[in-house]
Amino acid sequence: MQHLVDSKFNGQIKIKKYLWETSVWVGGFEQSGPLVKAVWQKALKNVTIAPKSVLILGLGCGVAAKLISQKFPNALITGVEIDPVMIDVGKKYFDLGKIKRLKIICEDAKVFLKKNKKKFDLILVDIYIGEKQVLPNNLKFYKKKNGVILLNELKDNKNKILIF
Protein backbone atom coordinates (compact mmCIF):
# COMPACT_ATOMS: atom_id res chain seq x y z
CA MET A 1 0.00 0.00 0.00
CA GLN A 2 1.21 3.50 -0.78
CA HIS A 3 -0.48 6.80 0.02
CA LEU A 4 0.70 10.22 -1.21
CA VAL A 5 0.26 13.50 0.65
CA ASP A 6 1.39 16.96 -0.44
CA SER A 7 3.17 19.30 1.95
CA LYS A 8 4.26 22.92 1.69
CA PHE A 9 7.54 22.05 3.42
CA ASN A 10 8.35 18.54 2.23
CA GLY A 11 6.68 18.43 -1.17
CA GLN A 12 5.29 14.97 -1.81
CA ILE A 13 5.24 12.68 1.22
CA LYS A 14 4.91 8.96 0.54
CA ILE A 15 3.44 6.73 3.20
CA LYS A 16 4.34 3.13 2.46
CA LYS A 17 2.90 0.15 4.27
CA TYR A 18 4.39 -3.27 3.73
CA LEU A 19 3.10 -6.10 5.90
CA TRP A 20 3.37 -4.76 9.48
CA GLU A 21 5.81 -1.88 8.78
CA THR A 22 4.90 1.69 7.89
CA SER A 23 7.43 4.17 6.57
CA VAL A 24 7.36 7.77 5.38
CA TRP A 25 9.52 8.88 2.49
CA VAL A 26 10.44 12.36 1.23
CA GLY A 27 12.72 12.97 -1.74
CA GLY A 28 13.77 9.34 -1.91
CA PHE A 29 14.78 9.12 1.78
CA GLU A 30 13.01 7.48 4.68
CA GLN A 31 12.00 10.13 7.21
CA SER A 32 10.16 7.79 9.61
CA GLY A 33 9.96 4.03 9.75
CA PRO A 34 12.09 0.95 10.43
CA LEU A 35 15.38 2.35 9.09
CA VAL A 36 15.09 5.54 11.15
CA LYS A 37 13.99 3.51 14.17
CA ALA A 38 17.13 1.34 13.93
CA VAL A 39 19.38 4.43 13.75
CA TRP A 40 17.85 5.97 16.88
CA GLN A 41 17.76 2.66 18.79
CA LYS A 42 21.49 2.31 18.25
CA ALA A 43 22.16 5.95 19.16
CA LEU A 44 20.12 5.82 22.37
CA LYS A 45 22.25 2.93 23.61
CA ASN A 46 25.03 5.53 24.01
CA VAL A 47 22.94 7.68 26.36
CA THR A 48 24.13 6.85 29.87
CA ILE A 49 22.15 9.53 31.69
CA ALA A 50 18.45 9.24 32.56
CA PRO A 51 17.19 12.48 31.03
CA LYS A 52 14.37 14.36 32.70
CA SER A 53 13.99 16.75 29.77
CA VAL A 54 14.40 15.92 26.09
CA LEU A 55 14.26 18.16 23.03
CA ILE A 56 13.72 16.67 19.59
CA LEU A 57 14.37 19.05 16.71
CA GLY A 58 12.79 17.47 13.66
CA LEU A 59 10.09 15.39 15.36
CA GLY A 60 8.83 13.98 12.07
CA CYS A 61 6.29 11.24 12.74
CA GLY A 62 7.63 10.62 16.25
CA VAL A 63 9.76 7.47 15.86
CA ALA A 64 12.53 8.85 18.12
CA ALA A 65 9.98 10.28 20.59
CA LYS A 66 8.36 6.86 20.96
CA LEU A 67 11.73 5.20 21.59
CA ILE A 68 12.65 7.82 24.19
CA SER A 69 9.31 7.50 25.98
CA GLN A 70 9.85 3.72 26.18
CA LYS A 71 13.46 3.92 27.36
CA PHE A 72 13.00 6.93 29.67
CA PRO A 73 9.32 6.89 30.74
CA ASN A 74 9.75 9.80 33.20
CA ALA A 75 11.28 12.18 30.66
CA LEU A 76 9.36 15.22 29.50
CA ILE A 77 9.76 15.39 25.73
CA THR A 78 9.43 18.52 23.60
CA GLY A 79 9.16 17.71 19.91
CA VAL A 80 9.57 20.52 17.36
CA GLU A 81 8.39 19.91 13.80
CA ILE A 82 8.00 22.56 11.10
CA ASP A 83 5.58 20.54 8.95
CA PRO A 84 1.98 20.21 10.19
CA VAL A 85 1.35 17.58 7.50
CA MET A 86 4.15 15.42 8.93
CA ILE A 87 2.59 15.75 12.40
CA ASP A 88 -0.79 14.68 10.98
CA VAL A 89 0.82 11.70 9.23
CA GLY A 90 2.55 10.80 12.51
CA LYS A 91 -0.73 10.88 14.39
CA LYS A 92 -2.54 8.82 11.76
CA TYR A 93 0.10 6.15 11.04
CA PHE A 94 2.56 6.19 13.99
CA ASP A 95 0.38 6.95 17.06
CA LEU A 96 2.27 10.22 17.56
CA GLY A 97 -0.63 11.70 19.54
CA LYS A 98 -0.53 8.79 22.02
CA ILE A 99 3.06 9.24 23.22
CA LYS A 100 3.01 10.09 26.92
CA ARG A 101 4.77 13.18 28.21
CA LEU A 102 5.27 14.57 24.68
CA LYS A 103 4.59 18.21 23.90
CA ILE A 104 4.38 18.81 20.14
CA ILE A 105 5.34 22.24 18.82
CA CYS A 106 4.66 22.97 15.16
CA GLU A 107 7.32 25.56 14.39
CA ASP A 108 10.65 26.06 12.65
CA ALA A 109 13.38 24.79 15.01
CA LYS A 110 15.42 27.98 14.59
CA VAL A 111 12.42 30.13 15.58
CA PHE A 112 11.70 27.86 18.54
CA LEU A 113 15.30 28.05 19.77
CA LYS A 114 15.37 31.86 19.55
CA LYS A 115 12.38 32.03 21.92
CA ASN A 116 13.40 29.13 24.16
CA LYS A 117 15.07 29.82 27.50
CA LYS A 118 15.11 26.24 28.75
CA LYS A 119 18.04 23.79 28.81
CA PHE A 120 17.63 20.06 28.19
CA ASP A 121 19.32 16.88 29.39
CA LEU A 122 19.10 15.29 25.96
CA ILE A 123 18.78 16.94 22.53
CA LEU A 124 18.15 14.98 19.33
CA VAL A 125 18.68 16.80 16.05
CA ASP A 126 17.08 15.20 13.02
CA ILE A 127 16.19 18.10 10.75
CA TYR A 128 15.97 17.11 7.12
CA ILE A 129 13.92 18.04 4.11
CA GLY A 130 14.58 15.00 1.92
CA GLU A 131 18.39 14.67 2.03
CA LYS A 132 19.04 18.36 2.84
CA GLN A 133 20.12 18.81 6.45
CA VAL A 134 19.27 21.99 8.36
CA LEU A 135 21.41 22.71 11.43
CA PRO A 136 20.55 25.29 14.08
CA ASN A 137 23.40 27.29 15.61
CA ASN A 138 24.65 27.17 19.20
CA LEU A 139 22.97 23.90 20.21
CA LYS A 140 25.33 23.56 23.17
CA PHE A 141 23.67 26.62 24.71
CA TYR A 142 20.46 24.59 25.15
CA LYS A 143 22.17 21.56 26.72
CA LYS A 144 22.38 21.16 30.50
CA LYS A 145 25.86 20.79 32.02
CA ASN A 146 25.99 16.98 31.82
CA GLY A 147 23.59 16.76 28.91
CA VAL A 148 24.00 15.02 25.58
CA ILE A 149 23.35 16.09 21.99
CA LEU A 150 22.70 13.42 19.34
CA LEU A 151 22.93 14.68 15.77
CA ASN A 152 21.69 12.54 12.88
CA GLU A 153 24.02 13.06 9.94
CA LEU A 154 23.38 11.58 6.50
CA LYS A 155 26.46 11.06 4.34
CA ASP A 156 26.76 8.86 1.27
CA ASN A 157 23.22 7.57 1.90
CA LYS A 158 24.24 6.30 5.37
CA ASN A 159 23.08 7.64 8.71
CA LYS A 160 25.66 8.38 11.38
CA ILE A 161 24.86 9.75 14.82
CA LEU A 162 27.32 12.30 16.19
CA ILE A 163 27.42 12.65 19.98
CA PHE A 164 28.31 15.90 21.76
Convert the pLDDT of each residue in 40-64 to its tens digit: 999 999 899 999 999 999 999 999 9
When pLDDT is averaged across residues 132-140 and rounded to a whole number, the result is 76
What is the DSSP track for 39-70?
Answer: HHHHHHTT--S--SEEEEES-TTSHHHHHHHH
**Which stretch of DSSP H or E encloses residue 37?**
helix 34-44
> Which residues have C-beta within 8 Å of that of residue 29, sequence separation ≥ 6?
128, 130, 131, 154
| Confidence check: pLDDT of 157 > 90 | no
pLDDT, position 90 = 97
* Residue, of 136 and 84, whose pLDDT is higher: 84
8 Å CB contact between 100 and 66: no
Convert the pLDDT of each residue in 23-34 to its tens digit: 999 988 888 999
| Confidence check: pLDDT of 159 > 80 | no
Confidence of residue 8 (pLDDT cuts 50, 70, 90): very high
DSSP symbol at 144: E
C-alpha closest to that of 54 among 36, 67, 35:
67
